[in-house]
Amino acid sequence: SQQGEEDPQALSIQEGENATMNCSYKTSINNLQWYRQNSGRGLVHLILIRSNEREKHSGRLRVTLDTSKKSSSLLITASRAADTASYFCATDALETSGSRLTFGEGTQLTVNP
Amino acid sequence: DTAVSQTPKYLVTQMGNDKSIKCEQNLGHDTMYWYKQDSKKFLKIMFSYNNKELIINETVPNRFSPKSPDKAHLNLHINSLELGDSAVYFCASSQAGLTIYFGEGSWLTVV
């Protein structure tokens, strides 16, 4: 079954605005990761947050994790046209620890210049 | 110095044919994967190998057969291709189940 569900499915914003994407999951996890996929390309890892962490930053990215609500958010600040891509959350479930990541359905972000 | 490379990038073939996609990683990772991404961008794991041993085999038709000659290579062979096999197939690798490094994908179109 699908572990991660992302919201919204699509997001369109203007350059300079912030973009927030949400991810919900069902089972207990070791960690949650966010990936980015440019059109026609493979997925690229952005950031990993462990189950005992609540917030993590990397450049213009901020990720939060709420294990009680089984949800995570990815915030991209001061967005740029080059941020246009699909963003996926992926969970490493406790029961299958380290053996696989289960991906959400992705959010298509469009940043208009 | 590509980390995970897969070939071919594009493949158009007729129903009933047999085809292979090759994958190699130069990261020294122990674990390699095949993922399938459908037209709605849903990404689903197909297989996972750790040190040449199969550790994950999802509900995939047995027309799909992975082969790992060594831990740096994981090839995917598909027999008797069907229209529904059209998708993007991603090879990936990781170490200790953490960050996954993906190849650029192989676009398979079955006509």
CA angle A88, A62, A30 (to 5 degrees): 60
Residue whose pair of structure tokens reads 């459908």 in the numeric block: B38
Please check whether the domain covering A5-112 is classified as CATH 2.60.40.10.
yes
pLDDT of residue A101: 86
Beta strands in chain A (DSSP E): 5-7, 10-14, 19-24, 29-37, 43-50, 55-58, 61-66, 71-76, 85-93, 102-103, 107-112
8 Å CB contact between B92 and B43: no
pLDDT band at B97; cut points 50, 70, 90? low
For residue B39, the domain's CATH number is: 2.60.40.10
Which residues of chain A are within 8 Å of residue B29 when distances are taken between CB atoms?
A: none
Judge whether residue A74 has pLDDT over 80: yes
Model pLDDT for residues B34-84, shown as the tens digit of each residue: 999 998 889 999 999 988 888 888 878 999 999 999 999 999 999 999 999
pLDDT of residue A99: 66
**Looking at residues A35-63, what average pLDDT do you find?**
96
Instruction: Give which of A100, A102, A105 to mutate to test B binding, by max B Cβ within 10 Å.
Output: A100
- In A, what residues contact B, Cβ < 8 A? 2, 31, 33, 35, 37, 40-45, 48, 86, 88, 90, 92, 97-103, 105-106, 108
Model pLDDT for residues A10-20, shown as the tens digit of each residue: 999 999 999 99
Q: How many Å lie between the alpha carbon of B99 and the closest alpha carbon of chain A?
A: 7
pLDDT of residue B64: 95
pLDDT band at A5; cut points 50, 70, 90? confident
Q: How many Å lie between the alpha carbon of A20 and the closest alpha carbon of chain B?
A: 20
Tally the domains of chain B.
1
Judge whether residue A91 has pLDDT over 50: yes
**Segments forming the whole domain that contains residue B37:** 4-110
Distance CA A88, CA A5 (A): 9
Which residues of chain A are within 8 Å of residue B35 when distances are taken between CB atoms?
A: 103
